[in-house]
Structure 1
Amino acid sequence: MAAAIEVRDARPDDAAALVTLWGEMSIGTGHQRALAAPTPASVRASIARLGQDPGARLVVGELDGHVSGMVYLRRTPISPLHAEETMTVEYLHVTDHARRHGLGKALVAESAAWAEHENCPYLGVVAPALAREANRFLARLGLGQAAVLRFAGTHTVRRRLAAEHAPNLLAMLSSRRSVIARRAQLGRHPDLTSPAEPESAGR
């Protein structure tokens, strides 16, 4: 008998299962090194927040009544220069014991269905570069590689940049922080006058 599959939006009582799925998914990836593991409480808060966001969904897949897969969907502009939107499919994961039963396909099918419903002509799936099986699975569905996503903490990148000893680099970074802070302040107090940006800004 074929396994029973159900795909639905995540609920607060899925929190413990989602924490387990995250732990499996993050092994060997940059997320495990850079992000703290979620807790059931933080997952429940995220589910509540996503419930108020019309442009995002956290979807789970059940196999025989057990939450065994997840995917995060976001509707985003395909680029800063195009009007079209893309459905970004992230954190797609199916637990080991539930693979080869059609659950991954069901999650991708739900992603494509929502993309069509939201008039998104493109589907973009983020997959770990080292996940060979997952990438072969996505390739069979017609998804080709378009980019490489690299992930690190902001402080790590700043430290590496400083280690390069580029002339005036630290001064430039400090200047950019000042400009960003000033713009944020202007957003809260529109009556303030903004000073000219430093020469290093944007270079």
Structure 2
Amino acid sequence: MSRSLVSLRRATVADAPVLAELWGEALRRVDHAEQVADLTRVLTEAERDASGAGAASGVSRVLVAEYDGEVAGAVLLRVSTLSPLNLEPCVQAVSPHVFAAFRRRGVGRALMDGAVVFAEERGIDHVMTAANSVSRDANRFMARLALGPHAMLRVAPTAAVRAKLTTSRSAMATSARAERRQVTRVLAARRSMRRAQAQAQSQG
């Protein structure tokens, strides 16, 4: 049996530059140096967590997948809950990314296997991940691993949401004023009809 060329290891702070390239689209829209600084912080916290707990009790870990000795992909694993309201424990597999040159070589499967092992070590029954909604390949891959849709995450700049809310509030106010005017006209018409009917009855 041939030896697999894919291996997993824990990421270190030294991996921050290459992971900034891998995860560029998932990071803050800042320059590369700041992205590396962000990842250095993430990796430092993961290393601190690992050093202060046993293998089966740490709450976060960054795994790097290597293909024949080269960094091919990575995933951030974190113990969390299914939602802020549903406190069922789960392992979040955050951004399981693979460099384009190493796709379809078992790297993504190895990363998700690492997520499952991480969950199994902690007795956690659920693994959660996310895929770009427009990436059919990523979503098909997750579906093949029994990961079904749970929620659709929607994100927008705060200012954009505020603008839409303001526009919506203005439109609702305009609609409410128009409705009140319509009601006023209807009531006035009914009063006029009643007066006309009363006058006709008195004359009859």
Partners of 1:90 and 1:127 within 8 A in 2: no
| Cα offsets for 1:85-105 (capped at 9, x unmatched) | 011111111011111111110
Q: Paired residue for 1:56, among 33, 57, 60?
A: 60
**What is the distance in 2 between the residues matched to 1:46 and 1:145?**
27
User: Where do 1:178-193 residues align within 5 Å?
Assistant: none
4+ residue segments displaced more than 3 Å: 79-83
**What is the distance in 1 between the residues matched to 2:75 and 2:89?**
19
Kindly indicate whether residue 103 of structure 2 is the aligned counterpart of residue 99 of structure 1: yes
| Cα offsets for 1:108-159 (capped at 9, x unmatched) | 0000110111221111111110111111111111111121111223333233
**What is the distance in 1 between the residues matched to 2:164 and 2:30?**
22
Which runs of 5 or more structure 2 residues have no equivalent in the other structure? 50-57, 174-204
Of the structure 1 ranges 88-97 and 144-153, higher mean CA displacement relative to structure 2 is found in: 144-153
Q: Paired residue for 2:169, among 155, 158, 165?
A: 165
Partners of 2:73 and 2:99 within 8 A in 1: yes
**What is the distance in 2 between the residues matched to 1:107 and 1:135?**
15
TM-fit CA distance, 1:51: 2.1
Partner in structure 2 of residue 44 of structure 1: 40
Over the aligned positions, Cα root-mean-square deviation in angstroms equals 2.3
Of the structure 1 ranges 106-115 and 36-45, higher mean CA displacement relative to structure 2 is found in: 36-45
**What is the distance in 1 between the residues matched to 2:89 and 2:32?**
29
Partner in structure 2 of residue 141 of structure 1: 145
Larger-gyration structure (1/2):
2
Partners of 2:12 and 2:47 within 8 A in 1: no
Q: Greater helix share, 1 or 2?
A: 2
TM-fit CA distance, 1:4: 1.8
Partner in structure 2 of residue 18 of structure 1: 19
Code of the aligned partner of 1:44: T
Partner in structure 2 of residue 35 of structure 1: 29
**What is the distance in 2 between the residues matched to 1:85 and 1:148?**
20
Q: 1:81 to 1:16 in 2, by over 3 A?
A: closer
Partner in structure 2 of residue 4 of structure 1: 5
**What is the distance in 1 between the residues matched to 2:18 and 2:154?**
27
Code of the aligned partner of 2:29: L
Code of the aligned partner of 1:62: E
Code of the aligned partner of 1:104: G
Which runs of 5 or more structure 1 residues have no equivalent in the other structure? 169-203
Partners of 1:56 and 1:75 within 8 A in 2: yes
Q: 1:81 to 1:164 in 2, by over 3 A?
A: closer
Task: Give aligned pairs, total.
Answer: 161
Q: Paired residue for 1:79, among 77, 83, 108?
A: 83
**What is the distance in 1 between the residues matched to 2:31 and 2:155?**
16
- TM-score, normalised to structure 1's length? 0.70
**What is the distance in 2 between the residues matched to 1:12 and 1:160?**
41
Partners of 1:90 and 1:126 within 8 A in 2: yes
Partners of 2:82 and 2:90 within 8 A in 1: yes
Partners of 2:91 and 2:115 within 8 A in 1: yes
